[in-house]
Structure 1
Amino acid sequence: MGEPFLAVDWGTTNRRVYLIQNGEVTRTERDDLGVTAVRDFDAAVTEIRARFGDLPMLLAGMVGSNIGWRLAPYVAAPAGAGELAANLLRIDAKTAIVPGVSTLAGGRPDVMRGEEVQLLGAVAAGLVPGDALLAQPGTHCKWAEMAAGCIAGFTTAMTGELFALLRNHGLLAAQLHGEVSANAAFLAGVEEAKQRDFGASLFGIRAAKMLGTRDDADAASYASGLLIGSDVAARLEASLHDTVHILSGPELGKLYAAAIRANGREAELIDSHAAFVAGIIAIESQS
């Protein structure tokens, strides 16, 4: 099962450290020391080893970006664990950063950093088939086409960021402070998204308030349904897969699952933490 090592999923706002021994996680800790909160990465890595042991360390995520420790390369899709392992950015003899993945399909550039570990791990752990469509909801939702266990291609949609901007700025902000759930208003937004007239549909939230046709308590769910529904409809139009595998926490995952089912496909939630662990083990074993 290989020698013990440390794996760090180091994002923008938080990080999670895993101690992996004999192919299993024996200890893990999460904190809010994402890359934007760290000024001295050498010291931060030394501190992790002081707590977890002086072991080899494999880091993934935004730690390898231009706002992180060192800029790790991008590996062009299609890419599997072997390609990522062959292009690790070596910091020193015991420390390395996993590269991201890039694509230029149809002339449109796209990149991911950190999500690739989960995607490959979901297949490696047997959580999804080798040929599958995977969604990773979040601030920037990733949709990845897996083929023979590799990342064949992917698309990023700024769905979560757009919702945050609408909720905090502009004309609709005062209406969008309610809780979001996969209720009737959310599903109505998903249905409206099928009209493919996103700008007009958004203004409809304002018009509904003026005409009293929708309670503002439901406006946030409707707007979320509109955004997620637009994202889902666009991705499913280009896919022949009957099922979408969602790598997400339960709250956001349930919203995407509801939108996917409303568009006539099946949805299955996958444990993203288990996928990350399987992916980092697969990369480490080939490095």
Structure 2
Amino acid sequence: MSAPSAFLAVDWGTTNRRVFRFEDGAVVHTERDDRGAASVTDFAGEVAAIRERFGDLPMLLAGMVGSTVGWRVVPYVAVPAGIDELVAGLDWIDDRTAIVPGVSCSAGGRADVMRGEEVQLLGAVAGWMVPSDALLAQPGTHCKWATMKDGRIGGFTTAMTGELFALLRGHSLLARALTAEVTDGDAFREGLAEGARRDLAASLFGIRAASVLGVRGDADAASFASGVLIGADVAARMDDCAFEQIHILADPGLGNLYAAAVAATGREPVIVDSHSAFARGVLAIGDKAL
């Protein structure tokens, strides 16, 4: 089965979503808004409104729309997972509206889950943006580190790096010192080196001590703190990494910070556009499902 000449897809996160309209295998229009799954109560109404605006077309929905805060809970597909497994796990709302399942894994006694990222990961491979065997990082509130094997998701780890930074910035002893914008400068690079020691709790309190003693100005504290968290996250993934290139699926801002952290470990970072990866992934699903 091949995808229709036109269809819609929604990358539906917790706080935001992005709508794509595809025609003849290409994205012809995309828009982002703040109608994330956590703010929606009438998903059927939202889907109808999307069709009214973007076209009365078949639709694939991915991300948190299939979670406990979404339209309905769609069971996870276990790793190893590729496009075929996602298609088999589609939850059809009606004959032209389906929710893409998330992916789960369990290794070493630790369970992990993702929703939405799986479309980007598989799309990056399907679109020849990354090799079929690779380590991919998806920075964000919860950073995903996925090992791709033979073009499928073989396993992954989630790190709460972005959420920890937000919590420190909003509710911790350090909050008043972490108001500046994060930039890739000397303070951030110093933070990367500190984070690589992976004594995270002590390193973070050191930010407070440096402020009190005047060792580091508060203007640099946010960049240093971000460096500590990202540096610890990246260093932990490099311990048993067999790849010299690390592919980073992200927008340039956050992607560049992770690229600096990867480069500091001696690996080569390669930034991949996450929106293009999602588009390629949902196209591959649509080719088999619609």
Fold shared per TM-score above 0.5: yes
Letter of the structure 2 residue corresponding to residue 156 of structure 1: T
For residue 215 of structure 1, report the CA deviation from its aligned partner.
Answer: 1.2
CA displacement, residues 208-227 of structure 1 (integer Å, 9 cap, x when unaligned): 11221111110110000000
For residue 19 of structure 1, report the CA deviation from its aligned partner.
Answer: 1.2
Letter of the structure 1 residue corresponding to residue 33 of structure 2: D
Whole-angstrom distance in 1 between the partners of 2:100 and 2:27: 19
Aligned counterpart, 1:213: 215
Unaligned segments of structure 2, at least 5 residues: none
Whole-angstrom distance in 1 between the partners of 2:71 and 2:110: 27
For residue 14 of structure 1, report the CA deviation from its aligned partner.
Answer: 1.3
Matched, 1:242 2:244: yes
Aligned 1:268-287 pairs, distance under 5 A: 268-287=270-289
Letter of the structure 2 residue corresponding to residue 129 of structure 1: P
Could you state the TM-score of these two structures normalised by the residue count of structure 2? Answer: 0.97
Letter of the structure 2 residue corresponding to residue 145 of structure 1: T
Shift >2 Å, 4+ stretches:
none
Whole-angstrom distance in 2 between the partners of 1:139 and 1:32: 16
Matched, 1:11 2:41: no
For residue 169 of structure 1, report the CA deviation from its aligned partner.
Answer: 1.1
Matched, 1:262 2:264: yes
Matched, 1:2 2:3: yes
RMSD, aligned CA: 0.9
Moved more, 43-52 or 75-84: 43-52
Whole-angstrom distance in 1 between the partners of 2:280 and 2:145: 19
For residue 142 of structure 1, report the CA deviation from its aligned partner.
Answer: 0.3
CA displacement, residues 153-185 of structure 1 (integer Å, 9 cap, x when unaligned): 000000000000101112111111111011111
Aligned 1:1-287 pairs, distance under 5 A: 2-3=3-4, 4-287=6-289
Unaligned segments of structure 1, at least 5 residues: none
Whole-angstrom distance in 2 between the partners of 1:53 and 1:196: 50
Identity of aligned residues (%): 64
Letter of the structure 2 residue corresponding to residue 24 of structure 1: A
Whole-angstrom distance in 2 between the partners of 1:242 and 1:200: 30
Letter of the structure 2 residue corresponding to residue 55 of structure 1: L
Whole-angstrom distance in 2 between the partners of 1:44 and 1:132: 37
Letter of the structure 2 residue corresponding to residue 84 of structure 1: L
Secondary structure of 2:108's counterpart equals helix
Whole-angstrom distance in 1 between the partners of 2:57 and 2:107: 39
